[in-house]
């Protein structure tokens, strides 16, 4: 029996250990179930170094980076407006590149990687070490992502790789997000195989999830363009820390995006996530502007981001900047990774966050990671009736017709068909 308190990461690790006998991670070919999450054990340092070199040499070039050669004299591409004196001598390290995929904008010397750990400078070319290298593959309910207003009750063919640009101290999927590509076994799986595998299993959605999918943007784009031609939908579960141009590309190919707004203070982002808040807020706004279905998750961590000021500020910002119809999930923290010293979030704190969100005008705030809680259901903002009843990740009843409440005909924001 699986514990109701098991985290998503625990489930993946257990499934990988069970292998074919446990029906865990999906086989992508008739050859059987690969050990996607099996760590490479043993081996000499020389052998491991050779494996690392082989991954880098076989990796395709990534997008969204500049070098002295590709910038063609436009210093602002790498340095930003006003940060250098144009025309003044500047000593560039040989072969160095500037990655502009995420807001860290790492300067990456030859043979080194960006902070995500999966984009490497190979002789002056930035390469993606995780293109076609999924480290986790599973079929999940779409509610597990969580998406509550996007095709409820459907399944999502979910994939993730190694790597993440953030260092969240509470990460529940740290074995993937903080891993290097060479830490995880797995054969090359091209976009066509992902699409075919989802089709064979009659799963209508492909979800990019588990780690931070921005790091495998090129893979996302190729899968989504191919899958869209075959009638599949595609969703992203993200920290929202990408730069503007990559986000535009993702909005072009994706049907829904869930962004983790991890807190509402720069200090929390800086100290706990090793990132910045402003790019995340900018990207939430842009997803809403583009008309891509958007949901937001706030993992409420005791003593760190659960103050009245933080919760009210977050709810007020969402209502003012992207509107009252964007679902916001206040989810329960469980001790993990480097925050084993903190207790699980009190349910009363999540209930308070939901009440604050209602008071600030949000129509669809939720209590998350608390199976059976009435805050899991979707309520009509017109009459207050339950229009989607859930039990954990399972949808028990839907009282909608053409996206409207059956009781009062109020339109319920979302993608229902």
pLDDT value of residue 337: 95
Instruction: Give the model confidence (pLDDT) of 256-307 as tens digits.
Output: 999 999 999 999 999 999 999 999 999 999 999 999 999 999 999 999 999 9
Radius of gyration of the chain (CA): 22
Tell me the average pLDDT across 219-246.
98
Cα–Cα distances (Å) from 168 to 173, 268, 271, in that order, read: 10, 10, 9
Residue 327: pLDDT above 60? yes
Instruction: Give the model confidence (pLDDT) of 17-26 as tens digits.
Output: 333 323 334 5
pLDDT band at 126 (very low <50, low <70, confident <90, very high): very high
Cβ atoms 213, 234 nearer than 8 A:
no
Domain range annotation of the chain: 48-74+93-128, 136-371, 377-417
Cβ atoms 333, 346 nearer than 8 A:
no
Residues 136-371, CATH architecture: Alpha-Beta Barrel (3.20)
Give the helix ranges, DSSP H, for 75-173: 76-79
Long-range contacts made by residues 84-90, C-beta under 8 angstroms, separation at least 24? none
Report the sign of the C-alpha dihedral through residues 297, 64, 293, 309, in that order.
positive
The C-alpha torsion from 313 through 316 and 320 to 326, rounded to 10°, is 110
The contacts of residue 413 (CB under 8 Å, 6+ apart) are 149, 325, 326, 327, 363, 364
pLDDT value of residue 93: 72
The contacts of residue 213 (CB under 8 Å, 6+ apart) are 160, 161, 220, 236, 237, 238
pLDDT value of residue 107: 95
Residue 38: pLDDT above 60? no
The Cα–Cα gap between 210 and 37 comes to 12
The Cα–Cα gap between 98 and 105 comes to 6
Tell me the average pLDDT across 349-361.
98
- Verdict on whether the full-model pTM lies above 0.95: no
Nearest CA to 238 out of 210, 212, 217 is that of: 212
DSSP 3-state of 392: coil
Q: How many CB atoms lie within 10 A of CB 235?
A: 28
Mean pLDDT of the chain, nearest integer: 88
Q: Which residue has the higher pLDDT, 172 or 8?
A: 172
Residue 251: pLDDT above 50? yes
The Cα–Cα gap between 226 and 242 comes to 23
Lowest mean pLDDT among 13-27, 53-67, 214-228: 13-27
pLDDT value of residue 54: 79
Residue 88: pLDDT above 80? no
Count of residues in the chain: 417
Query: What percent of the chain has a predicted confidence (pLDDT) above 90?
Result: 78
The Cα–Cα gap between 305 and 312 comes to 11
């Amino acid at each position: 029996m699986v514990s109701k308190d098991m985290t998503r990461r625990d489930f993946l690790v257990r499934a990988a250990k069970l292998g074919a006998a446990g029906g865990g991670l999906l086989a992508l070919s008739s050859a059987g179930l690969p050990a996607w999450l099996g760590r490479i054990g043993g081996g000499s340092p020389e052998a491991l170094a050779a494996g690392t070199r082989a991954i880098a040499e076989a990796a395709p070039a990534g997008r969204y980076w500049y070098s002295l050669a590709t910038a063609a004299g436009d210093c602002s591409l790498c340095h930003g407006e006003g940060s250098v004196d144009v025309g003044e001598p500047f000593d560039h390290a040989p072969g160095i590149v500037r990655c502009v995929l995420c807001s860290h904008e790492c300067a990456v010397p030859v043979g080194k990687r960006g902070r995500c750990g999966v984009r490497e400078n190979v002789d002056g070319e930035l390469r993606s070490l995780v293109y076609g290298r999924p480290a986790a593959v599973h079929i999940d309910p779409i509610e597990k992502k969580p998406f509550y207003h996007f095709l409820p009750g459907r399944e999502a063919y979910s994939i993730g790789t190694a790597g993440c640009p953030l260092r969240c101290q509470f990460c529940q999927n740290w074995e993937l997000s903080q891993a290097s590509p060479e830490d995880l076994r797995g054969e090359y799986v091209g976009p066509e195989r992902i699409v075919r595998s989802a089709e064979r299993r009659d799963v209508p959605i492909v979800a990019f999830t588990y780690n931070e999918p921005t790091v495998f943007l090129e893979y996302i784009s190729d899968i989504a363009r191919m899958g869209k031609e075959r009638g599949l939908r595609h969703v992203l579960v993200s920290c929202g820390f990408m730069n503007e141009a990559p986000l535009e590309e993702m909005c072009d190919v994706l049907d829904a995006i869930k962004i983790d707004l991890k807190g509402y203070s720069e200090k929390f982002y800086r100290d706990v996530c090793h990132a910045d808040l402003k790019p995340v807020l900018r990207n939430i706004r842009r997803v809403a502007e583009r008309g891509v279905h958007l949901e937001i998750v706030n993992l409420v961590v005791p003593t760190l981001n659960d103050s009245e000021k933080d919760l009210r500020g977050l709810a007020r910002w969402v209502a003012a900047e992207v509107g009252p119809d964007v679902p916001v999930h206040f989810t329960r923290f469980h001790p993990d990774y480097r925050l084993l010293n903190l207790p699980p979030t009190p349910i009363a704190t999540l209930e308070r966050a939901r009440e604050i969100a209602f008071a600030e005008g949000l129509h669809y705030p939720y209590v998350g990671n608390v199976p059976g809680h009435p805050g899991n259901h979707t309520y009509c903002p017109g009459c207050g009736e339950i229009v989607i009843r859930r039990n954990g990740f399972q949808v028990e009843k839907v009282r909608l017709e053409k996206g409207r409440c059956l009781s009062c005909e109020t339109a319920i924001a979302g993608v229902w068909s």
